[in-house]
């Protein structure tokens, strides 16, 4: 019997090398849990029918001694990441039967490493949401408490990992879409530096914000996945060059011990229990030798407002391609305009339509300068002050989210309340810096707490360092 609950990537790799179990046996163990749990959790939209065939192929790599640490490791893949000849729907009816014509670059990397793809996971439609309740394929439940949300928009991947339905998972993070589900499900989630991981082959939500992001049970698992995914991709114009990656590491010497805390951002909307857990985490870090400093990020308080102008603007542009003509869902109509209207009304859900309309509004004549251009200017100020802060400290620390996992259906009629879940996530996406969410305790109700470390551009190494250290002092 394989102990899926406590299994890590390194342990699985060593067991596969020693022959304690095979790739097929490992994959089959997860398939059995999926069969048992997924009907209720709804983490997977589709479980692939060739999983065991994939496993048999990967076993050959161990025989030929060409295996990597990810060979035979089962992955759950968010439903907006293209895998050739497989359906990729972005959680939307408008793409429910669309088959990818090519592999995303990160999928090519994982295939080369020998990973096994278990299936595609549920998500908020086109990654628009913080709860995985806006999917066209039903809501996903939190395995820790099935009356609560797993977070979003990558809630399916988080629920699959937390529910022992996979050993590793990928999501995308536009404004906390991996870190928030990690927090709600007791996982580690990394939002990499913008451009560190290729975006080629990802169904875009906000081009200047999206990043493919790994989930793991521990910081080391996330580090392993990131190392395989992080490289320059000439097919992605936003990919960071090797020279810049190297210079970011060389030009920033650090003792990795100074942590800045922006207490002024904690004034409202944060649960008392979350605040108490954060203070307890700080005490543990102090005892472990970290220096805690108060910092000011005066423009960071505008992050959420800026995000909810820039993101819808990019959404309205990106989703204009889904018109019911070229591919995806198409409704019958009396004329071209009628087809457009019916296809988009029936194909897009309520939240997606809301953001398209909002984005179209802020980009429209008369409002472009007043909203969009102004938001871009404030974004630059936020980025500048964060980069200046990293000249004084090695990390910026906050709670990952201001609340614990909320009840299913609780915030659906109050979108602003839902958006406020992203209050600590937005600065990292707007500035492009990396951030990691780490489990930091359990509430009285058995729900998970989480803290978030941010570091300077290209310094994921510091995040893994502090993440592994924090796990030892918890």
CA atoms in the 13 A half-sphere facing the CB of 213: 38
- Give the DSSP H/E element, type plus range, for residue 261: strand 258-261
* Residues with Cβ within 8 Å of residue 294, at least 6 apart in sequence: 260, 261, 263
Q: How far is CA 95 from CA 74, 205, 216, in A?
A: 25, 14, 28
Q: Is 153 a catalytic residue?
A: yes
- Cα(150)–Cα(404) distance, integer angstroms: 10
Active-site position among 78, 191, 217, 448? 78
> What's the rounded Cα separation, in Å, for the pair 143 and 148?
9
Place of tokens 């179209």: 360
Q: What are the angstrom distances between the C-alpha of 146 and each of 156, 233, 245, 288, 446?
A: 13, 40, 42, 36, 12
CB 259, CB 429: distance < 8 Å: no
Listing from the earlier edge strand, what are the strands of the sheet with 435-442?
A: 44-47, 116-121, 74-78, 168-173, 211-216, 188-191, 435-442, 448-454, 395-399, 258-261, 291-294
**Annotated catalytic residue within 89, 92, 153, 154:** 153
Active site residue 343: no
Annotation says 177 is catalytic: yes
Catalytic residue among 89, 131, 177, 239: 177
List active site positions: 78, 153, 177
């Amino acid at each position: 019997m394989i102990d899926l609950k406590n299994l890590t990537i390194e342990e699985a790799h060593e067991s596969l090398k020693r022959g304690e179990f095979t790739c097929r046996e490992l994959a089959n163990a997860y398939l059995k849990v999926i069969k048992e749990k997924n009907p209720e959790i709804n983490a997977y939209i589709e479980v692939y029918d060739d999983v065991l065939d994939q496993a048999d192929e990967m076993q050959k790599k161990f025989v030929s001694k060409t295996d990597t640490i990810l060979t035979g490791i089962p992955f759950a893949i968010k439903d907006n990441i293209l895998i050739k000849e497989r359906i990729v729907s972005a959680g939307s009816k408008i793409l429910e039967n669309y088959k990818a014509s090519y592999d995303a670059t990160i999928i090519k990397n994982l295939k080369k490493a020998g990973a096994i793809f278990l299936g595609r996971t549920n998500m908020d439609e086109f990654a628009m949401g913080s709860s995985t309740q806006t999917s066209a394929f039903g809501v996903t439940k939190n395995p820790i408490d099935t009356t609560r949300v797993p977070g979003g928009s990558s809630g399916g991947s988080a629920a699959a990992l937390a529910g022992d339905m996979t050993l590793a998972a990928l999501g995308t993070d536009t404004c906390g879409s991996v870190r928030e589900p990690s927090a709600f499900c007791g996982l580690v989630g990394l939002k990499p530096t913008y451009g560190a991981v290729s975006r080629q082959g990802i169904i875009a939500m906000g081009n200047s914000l999206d990043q493919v992001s790994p989930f793991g049970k521990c910081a080391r698992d996330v580090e392993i996945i990131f190392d395989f995914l992080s490289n320059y991709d000439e097919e992605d114009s936003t990919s960071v060059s090797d020279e810049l990656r190297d210079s970011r590491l060389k030009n920033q010497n650090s003792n990795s011990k100074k942590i800045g805390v922006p207490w002024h951002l904690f004034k409202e909307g944060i649960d008392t229990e979350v605040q108490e857990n954060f203070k307890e985490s700080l005490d543990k870090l102090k005892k472990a030798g970290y220096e805690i400093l108060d910092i000011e990020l005066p423009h960071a308080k505008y992050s959420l407002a800026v995000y909810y102008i820039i993101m819808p603007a990019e959404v309205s542009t990106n989703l204009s391609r889904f018109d019911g003509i070229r591919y995806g869902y198409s409704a019958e109509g009396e004329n071209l305009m009628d087809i457009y209207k019916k296809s988009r009304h029936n194909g897009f859900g309520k939240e997606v339509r809301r953001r398209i309309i909002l984005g179209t509004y802020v980009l429209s004549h008369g409002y472009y300068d007043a909203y969009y251009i102004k938001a871009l200017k404030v974004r630059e100020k936020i980025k500048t002050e964060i980069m200046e802060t990293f000249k004084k400290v090695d990390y910026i620390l906050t709670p990952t989210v201001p609340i614990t996992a909320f009840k299913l259906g609780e915030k659906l009629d109050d979108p602003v309340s839902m958006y406020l879940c992203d209050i600590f996530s937005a600065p990292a996406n707007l500035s492009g810096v990396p951030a990691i969410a780490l489990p930091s305790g359990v509430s009285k109700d058995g729900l998970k707490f989480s803290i978030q470390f941010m570091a300077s551009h290209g310094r994921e190494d510091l995040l893994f360092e502090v993440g592994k250290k924090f796990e030892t002092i918890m």
